[in-house]
Amino acid sequence: MSKDLSKRDDLVVDWRRDYHAVEKYRFIHRFLPSAEENKRSVLLSTKSLIVYCALVLIITGLFRVIPLIFPNVLGFATNINVSDLLTETNKKRSEFGLSSLKYSNTLSEAAKKKAEHMFQNNYWAHVAPDGTEPWDFILGENYDYIYAGENLAKNFNTSGDVVDAWYNSPSHKENLLNKNYTEMGFAIVDGKLNGYETTLVVQMFGKPRLPVQVAEVSEDKPAVEMNPVPAEETPEVVPVPADSNVEPAAKPVYQEPGAVKPLMDVRMASRWLTLIMGGFVAFLLGLDVWYSSKKGIIKLGGHTIVHLSFLILALVGIWIVLVPGSIL
């Protein structure tokens, strides 16, 4: 036996006796495919993928349950305010050459009552289960309108996110860019809907029915007589200019602060979970492809593809279920 071979054998023996070296090898081996067995790494095996999917399901369940038990730890934290909603809405209108809408206290009060009604009756719709419509809340505030509309949103992070979601929806965009409206009001209300802490945003549009003024008739003007029957003077009907009937901008009537401000936002936590899980699997796949091409390892299992697809679907499911920002 040559001296070099003997030296190498001694190194192998010493390496096998080194606990830390063996543990390091085992750790690295979990990330790399096996050249001897033509298999993917341990962390990409079928069993591992099943474990990943199980973890995803468990964490998803926890993200749904924890806000109910500990809303101060995990819940929905928002940064939405009336001023930004008003600004962002008018910014969209200005892009299309439309006039800015003025803030209405009356419409805001109607929006507030609509939000409260949804929480009290546990529904998320334009028309309540009892048949109450948005116009009922507007008329209830003695707002006599020619045109009116409503946009709803829940569980968004910022005012910009809300307006962008409305703008990207054809029916909501029609409200945002409707040239018939002259005023709008908002309500931002926190409460429990279907058992979960929820932030509702109600936006109401309107154009008030303008009253008429009766022109005064001068008493000095002689009455006109025809065949001894005095003719009654017909008063001149003059429409009041639109600006004179529009309420000046004011502070919002209703913008209730969140009752509970959680330490961690569900949506942010779900995004981090999706990024971490997705990034980890992507890293393993990239490492697998690189190492296999370098060592000439040929392997591809149909079961692996199926389980990887399932894992991707599970991650997409987290995003959909735990990022519930929606409009109506």
**131 is a domain residue:** yes
Does residue 98 carry a pLDDT above 80? yes
Please state the rounded mean pLDDT for residues 224-248: 35
Reported confidence tier of residue 218, pLDDT bands at 50, 70, 90: very low
Cα angle 152, 208, 176; round to 5: 35
**9 is a domain residue:** no
Within 8 A by CB and 6+ apart from 6, the residues are: none
- Same domain as 127, residue 67: no
Reported confidence tier of residue 250, pLDDT bands at 50, 70, 90: very low
- Same domain as 164, residue 117: yes
Q: What is the pLDDT of residue 194?
A: 80
Min mean pLDDT across 177-181, 200-204, 228-232, 280-284 is at 228-232
**234 is a domain residue:** no
Q: What is the mean pLDDT of the chain?
A: 73
Range among 45-54, 245-254, 257-266 rated most confident: 45-54
pTM for the model stands at 0.57
Range among 23-37, 46-60, 204-218, 304-318 rated most confident: 46-60
Instruction: Name which residue leads in pLDDT, 250 or 61.
Output: 61
Does residue 225 carry a pLDDT above 60? no
Reported confidence tier of residue 131, pLDDT bands at 50, 70, 90: very high
Helix (H) or strand (E) holding 273: helix 266-295
Q: What is the pLDDT of residue 12?
A: 46
- Same domain as 65, residue 86: no
**134 is a domain residue:** yes
Task: Report the distance separating Cα 325 and Cα 201, nearest Å.
Answer: 11
Reported confidence tier of residue 4, pLDDT bands at 50, 70, 90: low
Domain boundary at 168, 188, 212, which?
212
Q: How many domains does the chain have?
A: 2
Phi, psi of 148 (to 5 degrees): -155, 155
194: left (phi over 0), alpha (psi -120 to 50) or beta: left
- Same domain as 139, residue 94: yes
Q: What is the pLDDT of residue 320?
A: 55
Q: What is the pLDDT of residue 224?
A: 38
Reported confidence tier of residue 49, pLDDT bands at 50, 70, 90: confident
- Same domain as 269, residue 306: yes
Q: What is the pLDDT of residue 292?
A: 77
Min mean pLDDT across 59-63, 67-71, 81-85, 176-180 is at 67-71
DSSP state of 210: P
Largest CA distance in the chain: 146
Q: What is the pLDDT of residue 210?
A: 74
Q: Residue 118's closest CA among 190, 173, 204, 67?
A: 190
- Same domain as 190, residue 107: yes
**Cβ neighbourhood burial of 249 (10 Å; 0-12, 13-18, 19+):** exposed
**223 is a domain residue:** no
pLDDT above 90: percentage of residues in the chain: 34
- Same domain as 87, residue 197: yes
- Same domain as 185, residue 91: yes
**315 is a domain residue:** yes
- Same domain as 91, residue 52: no
Encoding tokens for residue 44? 């990409």
**1 is a domain residue:** no
By residue count, the chain amounts to: 328
Task: Report the distance separating Cα 289 and Cα 40, nearest Å.
Answer: 10
In DSSP notation, 113-174 reads HHHHHHHHHT--SSS-TT---HHHHHHHTT--EEEEEEEEEES-SBHHHHHHHHHTSHHHHH
- pLDDT, one tens digit per residue, over 153-166 is 998 878 998 999 99
- Same domain as 202, residue 90: yes
Min mean pLDDT across 71-75, 81-85, 146-150 is at 71-75
Min mean pLDDT across 59-63, 138-142, 179-183, 296-300 is at 296-300
Please state the rounded mean pLDDT for residues 258-285: 70
- Same domain as 185, residue 124: yes
Q: What is the pLDDT of residue 248?
A: 38
Instruction: Name the β-bridge partners of 102.
Output: 183
Torsion angle, CA of 295/299/303/305, rounded to 10 degrees?
70
Instruction: Name the β-bridge partners of 255.
Output: 188
- Same domain as 200, residue 121: yes
Does residue 144 carry a pLDDT above 80? yes
| Domain extent at residue 188 | 82-212
Domain CATH for 127: 3.40.33.10
**24 is a domain residue:** no
